Chains A and B, each alone.
Chain A
Amino acid sequence: MTDSHPTRRTLLRYGAYGAGAAALAGTAASWDRLTGADIPGRDDGSLVVATLGPAYGPEAIRSLTEGFKKVHPDIKLRINAVQATDWSDFFAKILTQIAAGTAPDLVYVATEGVQLFAQRLGVALDDWVKRDAAELREYFADVHPSLVESMMYEGSLYQLPVEFNAADIYLNDQVLKRAGASFPAADWTRDDFTALLRDMKKSSGSQFTPYFWTNRLWGGVVPWLFANGTNLLAESKAPGGKWLWDGFYPAAERGGRGGGFRWTTPQATDARVEETYDYLASLIQEDLCTRPEGGNGQNLIGVFSTGRVGVTPAGGFWAGGLNLAGMKPDSFDVQYFPRWRTQRMQFGAAGYALLRTSKKQDEAWEFIKFAARRDTLMRLFETNQTTPARRSMLTADRYKKTGPNHWQVFYDTLDKFPDTGPIPAPPQVAEVEQVLLKHTGTALSSRRSVGPALRRMQSDLEKAMERDV
């Protein structure tokens, strides 16, 4: 046994420890929260722009930095290329930087995150756009209003789109020839599409899959929902935005425009949604298409270029990808997504969002304008790794080296189908996407699974949409 009575010395010692700890805690509590920006040397006064790493290689970053320096030698620029597998992963990493107190001034944001950033983090560009209207008139004249509208939230513009990708259908020429099929017409239907897949299957071996698709928000089930005249969430337009349409677009292009899209009530149990899933389940059952595979379709280029896949939905970004994979310009081609009840197609666009936390907002606006300039985009998008938002950049010369022959399809998806719209991406997009991916996987395991899985999807979507982000 030890003596349980503390001595005076012990009491004094522990008292001193306690007082020291209390003093430390008090001091810590009285300080502002320490962040990553407090690390000496971390903040060098540069305008920091976060971009999606894989989309912007070292060459593109050098081009952006040097080009901007020539125009604005007084603004120090730092491009932070964040490596991420997809937009969802990219946003997660940006939010981590914000949590760490090292938020960039500008973030490259795609449709998937436009409303999330606009609602919580972004600054509306309206005042700057109005101020520099004369300078921007040429830009808006070159960019389709649907792309601009997809960057609006509740009446305000948050980004200037610099690129977009619509889900068109890529076809492998070698597979088409093998099946004895001709290139489909622009107004081909869902039944034409199914018949083509059957022909392709008949003429190819067991290691061949006619239709490959990736389970994700862009280019997964959504284009089929659009084609069938429905959507995952009820879609409407926010009021406002008249100042923009009246100021920059002719009357013919202003009709029906508003202040950005609103995606609200989930409608996963809608009869047309169920019909769409039934159709995809039937394709899987017939071995005409892959089962929904999550991810970003990294292995798709390989299997398409080697003729193990016949058709797949992709955007202009694939022209450059297939060229890099060794495909010749005339060995593949692109056509619009097939018609079902409608031929409405889906797209995703991207541009730079200005963060509220930025202390260099005027400098950031200068970068936004610089990044949307034609000469900047010409340098950035040399390899056809995406579809430029500027119509004038899509020329025969641009696609001569990479293909496809029907390159006009990329921009005509907007010009000839004015109801083509953005993928549904409300501020709760992360959870919506996760619910969609999860239940799509289950729904398509068999045709009997469709109904129960969609009911669970509806319930989860309702919960997700009720949440405040």
Chain B
Amino acid sequence: MTNTEIPTVRPSRPAAAPATGPARPSARDRGTRWLATLFLAPTIVGIVVFTVVPIVGSIVLSLFHWNVIDSPNWAGAANYREVFTDSTVLVSFRNTLVFMVLAVALQLLIALVLALAVNGRMPVWLRSVFRSAFFFPLVLSAASISVVMKYLFNQDFGVVNWALGLIGIAPVPWLTSENSAMAAVILVYVWQQFGFSFLLFVGGLNNIPKEIHEAASLDGATGLRKHLNVTLPLLSPTLLVATVVGVINALQVFEQPYVLTNGGPGDSTRTVVMVIYESAFEQLRFGEASAVGVLLFVLIMAVTALQFRLSRRFVHYQ
């Protein structure tokens, strides 16, 4: 940290306003405000139309019974009561939380290890190859990847079990056993998603001044200790961003379990967004689907807020 205070905004008028009342903004200030409003308008309109209105709409819809075909009927809190007593919904929340914890942890770990490896000594072209290769799955459609993975993980005819068979391991019911289906879904999800965290970490690692590492080396820090005591703390803001984005994405997981297992066997891989989709578009219970959506929204807000609160203790800004 430096002691130099950098003023961020130049005050447009003296800090102490005259006692007679607020000064009228000048014509120039008013012009600047209109210009700012004009530039911000498309974004604001976009946020209002595509984010605020759907959120408010979902909240309102969660108070009605609506099957698309007939007019909505007032339901009050009935949809929420239904949701809280529906074992499928409760299981889906549990599954989603388990998925979130495991998928995000694995995603961050793999991304960090690979970012550290790629950031090490290697030819520039090879580094570019690795960066592209690790990022590539992210630009593919999750549904397409899941279809391919479904073939690979097929218990009887999949390549994965065929390869395991070569080394004497019995076929694993990847997608058809309650014990392994979630693991398979997590593996597929992480394989596709870790590229984003990887890219963030590579950027974060590049921003750490070499002098700090050199100073740590002079103080005798090596290998893992250097990473734990120097790299990780300095990378913590990037880690926070990667975690927040990872958690939000993981809580909304849909394509992978939908295509790979359709939520099964039983409910073992059914996630909250799958329940929303099934309730709304398959069972025509848009009110209940909206109630689940509102609860997921609240959960995401709460988890994100918790992360930012915890970040005050664990995140170090230079």
Chain A residues proximal to chain B, CB less than 8 Å = 2-3, 7, 88, 91-93, 95-96, 98-99, 120-121, 206-207, 209, 212, 215, 290-295, 298-299, 302-303, 308, 430-431, 434, 437-439, 441-442, 445, 453, 469
Contacts and interface: CB of A to CB of B under 8 A. Distances in A.
Contact of A437 (B154, B165, B262, B283): B262
B151 A207 contact: no
Interface string B86-107: 0000000000000000000000
- Interface residue SS majority, chain B: loop
A358 to B, nearest CB: 14
B288 to A, nearest CB: 10
B261 interface: yes
Interface of B: 21-22, 67-69, 147, 150-151, 154-157, 162, 165, 173, 175-178, 261-267, 278, 281-284
8 contacts: A2-B22, A92-B282, A120-B69, A212-B156, A291-B155, A293-B154, A293-B176, A434-B282
A114 to B, nearest CB: 16
B162 A438 contact: no
B164 to A, nearest CB: 12
B264 A430 contact: no
A294 B274 CA distance: 15
A292 B157 contact: no
A221 to B, nearest CB: 14
Given A299-B151, A430-B283, A434-B278, A445 B21 contact: no
A469 B284 contact: yes
Contacts of A291: 155, 173, 176-177
Contacts of B154: 293, 299
A92 to B, nearest CB: 4
The 3 closest A-B pairs by CB, nearest first: A441-B265, A442-B266, A294-B262
Nearest to B261: A294
Contacts of A303: 156-157
A298 B265 CA distance: 18
A373 B165 CA distance: 53
A261 B255 CA distance: 36
Contacts of B150: 295, 299
Contacts of A95: 68, 281, 284
Given A95-B68, A441-B176, A445-B177, A299 B278 contact: no
Nearest to B267: A438
Contacts of B262: 294-295, 437
A299 B157 contact: yes
A170 B44 CA distance: 59
B178 A293 contact: no
A445 B177 CA distance: 7
A88 B282 contact: yes
Given A303-B157, A438-B266, A99 B21 contact: no
Contacts of A445: 177-178, 265
Contacts of B69: 98, 120-121
Contacts of B22: 2-3, 7
B21 A438 contact: no
A7 B67 CA distance: 49
B94 to A, nearest CB: 16
Contacts of B68: 95, 98-99
Contacts of A469: 67, 284
Contacts of A293: 154, 175-176
Nearest to A294: B262
Contacts of A7: 21-22
A290 B156 contact: yes
Contacts of B261: 294
Given A293-B176, A437-B262, A207 B162 contact: yes
Nearest to B278: A434
B292 to A, nearest CB: 15
Contacts of B266: 438-439, 441-442, 453
B283 A294 contact: no
Contact of B156 (A96, A209, A437): A209
B279 to A, nearest CB: 9
A308 B158 CA distance: 12
A236 B255 CA distance: 39
A145 B168 CA distance: 55
A302 B159 CA distance: 14
A273 B262 CA distance: 24
For B67, B162, B173, B176, the residue with the greatest tally of chain A CB atoms inside 10 Å of its CB is B176
A438 B157 contact: no
B155 A294 contact: no
Contacts of A92: 281-282
Q: Chain A CB within 10 Å — which of B67, B175, B261, B266 has the most?
A: B266
Contacts of B157: 207, 209, 299, 302-303, 308
B221 to A, nearest CB: 50
A290 B158 CA distance: 13
Nearest to B24: A9
A291 B176 CA distance: 7
B283 A431 contact: yes
A91 B68 CA distance: 13
Nearest to A116: B284
Nearest to B151: A299
A308 B151 CA distance: 14
A88 B262 CA distance: 12
Given A98-B68, A434-B278, 16 more contacts: A2-B22, A88-B282, A120-B67, A207-B162, A209-B156, A209-B157, A212-B156, A291-B173, A293-B154, A294-B264, A295-B262, A298-B147, A299-B154, A299-B157, A442-B266, A453-B266
Contacts of B67: 120, 469
